[in-house]
Amino acid sequence: MEKLAVVLIRNDRRLHDHEGLTLSQSFDRYLLLALLPPQWDQLERIAPERKRFIQSSINAFAESLGPVPLHLTSEPKLLLEELSENFDVTLLAESQGAEEEAHQLRAFNVRNLLLTRPNRIFEQREISPTFTPFRKRLEKFAKASSPEGRVALHPDRALVLQPFRFAPFDVPAFPSVGESNARARVKVYLERYLDSYSETRNYLEAPDASSRFSTFLANGEVSARWIYQEIQRRDPENWLAVELLWREFFWHQGANFALPSRGRSVSGWENKLSHPLARAIFNELVTTGYISNRSRQILASFLVYEVGLDWKIGGAFFEAHLHDYDVFVNWGNWQYIAGVKFDPRGGRRFNLDLQQEKYDPDETYIRKWA
Ligand SMILES: Cc1cc2nc3c(=O)[nH]c(=O)nc-3n(C[C@H](O)[C@H](O)[C@H](O)COP(=O)(O)OP(=O)(O)OC[C@H]3O[C@@H](n4cnc5c(N)ncnc54)[C@H](O)[C@@H]3O)c2cc1C
């Protein structure tokens, strides 16, 4: 029987530094199969605009494959069963995601499942209750792993199943999706804006105030190892490297949804955004699918401490809308702000009047998103 590698493509839509794709080239045949996120059809889990964003990312990945076809089916389990009748199948999937994604994989019930390395900077897993000791240990004792190059896919060995061949989704091409846009953004940002990052990163809104790498990272369109290496090469002390370590921190801790609720389910909480800054941030998020880190902190704090909303409801709302939604980073940050985990100070409560005075003194932002 021929050995067939089925590479599941989830949030890892890139050709550089992709262990699964690289390994698949040593099998007799390989097939690329895109998998949609769990609960794809539940509107409250994934708002329509975020859905289009993900679809646009899948389109970009399919295009980047050139002659090698991508496949997509609503019944991946059935397809895998059929393939197993004719091939010795190994399923390759990047190790990522939380329990739900792991469940999705287990449900396929394949004999050979190979989990490949996650899109993290450090191979060695470090568990720490808070960020600072985690960062210190990594910086002192661990070695960041090096990114692999771009895989050369052999079109002649690619298995093509016409009925399951991916047809592009009918959605606009978002400028912030796709591996080539990701790599171009990293190069431009590091060349032009790295020096000013620590001064500007807290702005409420400005396209180059922060890197905007998050959407590319969330879709796996760029390698975290590569970005980190590029920063280290230019300016190892730069604060941007520390922010990437925050992502790393949450990825190493994993996701724990069993933590206690804090707050309650407030009916119509969307109409209780009594502070104009909270209202403006909410409007920007729903309209664009992106808000700055400072805005996320302010809105999350307002919802938890002023509205009294359960942090789990706030986190789910961010999940539905954020184009850069990342299971570990989103829930980790909510837990931090709400003071249920990770924060040695037991939570972060922001004074919105002071935040407005500092970051939007002339109300430009508030007026724009009123
Ligand atoms: C309540 C809340 C929810 C969040 N949800 C998400 C989410 O779902 N997905 C997501 O990618 N980020 C999330 N963040 C973290 C952060 O706000 C975004 O990563 C950042 O604003 C993205 O913009 P940027 O790429 O320009 O960031 P930059 O400031 O340029 O930072 C560079 C990279 O560092 C990482 N990073 C920055 N800040 C954080 C942080 N606080 N925690 C972990 N990693 C960080 C990200 O990968 C980011 O792309 C959340 C923050 C809060 C407070």
What digits encode the pLDDT tens for the residues 186-235? Answer: 999 999 999 999 999 999 999 999 999 999 999 999 999 999 999 999 99
- Residue 344's pLDDT band, with cuts at 50, 70 and 90, is confident
Phi, psi of 300 (to 5 degrees): -60, -45
pLDDT tens-digit series, residues 301-316: 999 999 999 999 999 9
The three-state secondary structure class of 218 is helix
pLDDT of residue 44: 86
Q: How far is the CA of 299 from the centre of ligand 1 (A)?
A: 14
For the residues 128-132, what does the mean pLDDT come to? 95
- Domain limits, the chain: 3-118, 180-253, 269-368
pLDDT tens-digit series, residues 20-66: 999 999 999 999 999 999 889 988 899 999 999 999 999 999 999 99
Please state which CATH class domain 3-118 belongs to: alpha beta
Return d(Cα 116, Cα 95) in angstroms, integer: 6
Sheet arrangement for strand 70-71: 70-71, 29-34, 3-9, 88-94, 112-116
Ligand 1 binding pocket includes 227 (Cβ within 6 Å): no
Q: Give the DSSP letter of residue 162.
A: G
Nearest ligand 1 atom to alpha carbon 243 = 34
Phi, psi of 165 (to 5 degrees): -65, 135
pLDDT of residue 120: 96
- Residue 325's pLDDT band, with cuts at 50, 70 and 90, is very high
**CA-closest candidate to residue 13, choices 183, 207, 144, 252:** 183
On whether the pTM is more than 0.95, the answer is yes
Q: Considering all CA atoms of the chain, what is the largest pairwise distance in Å, rounded to the nearest integer?
A: 70
- How wide is the angle at C-alpha 161 spanned by C-alphas 92 and 7, nearest 5°? 10
pLDDT of residue 302: 98
Q: How far is the CA of 343 from the centre of ligand 1 (A)?
A: 16
Superfamily of domain 269-368, CATH level 4: DNA Cyclobutane Dipyrimidine Photolyase, subunit A, domain 3 (1.10.579.10)
Ligand 1 binding pocket includes 327 (Cβ within 6 Å): no
Predicted confidence (pLDDT) at residue 96 exceeds the cutoff of 90: no
Ligand 1 binding pocket includes 324 (Cβ within 6 Å): yes
Q: What share of the chain is helix, strand, coil (3-state, %, to 5)?
A: 50, 10, 45
Q: What is the CA radius of gyration of the chain?
A: 21
pLDDT tens-digit series, residues 232-265: 999 999 999 999 999 999 999 998 888 999 999 9
pLDDT tens-digit series, residues 171-191: 999 999 999 999 999 999 999
- Percent of residues, the chain, with pLDDT higher than 90: 92
Rounded to the nearest angstrom, the gap between the alpha carbon of residue 361 and the centroid of all alpha carbons in its chain is 32
For the residues 149-172, what does the mean pLDDT come to? 97
**Encoding tokens for residue 342?**
């990770």
**Residue 32: its H or E element:** strand 29-34
Q: How far is the CA of 204 from the centre of ligand 1 (A)?
A: 13
Specify whether the CB–CB gap between 203 and 209 falls below 8 A. yes
**CA-closest candidate to residue 88, choices 27, 12, 156, 15:** 27
**Which residue has its alpha carbon closest to ligand 1 atom 6?**
330
- For domain 180-253, the question of CATH label 1.25.40.80 is answered with yes
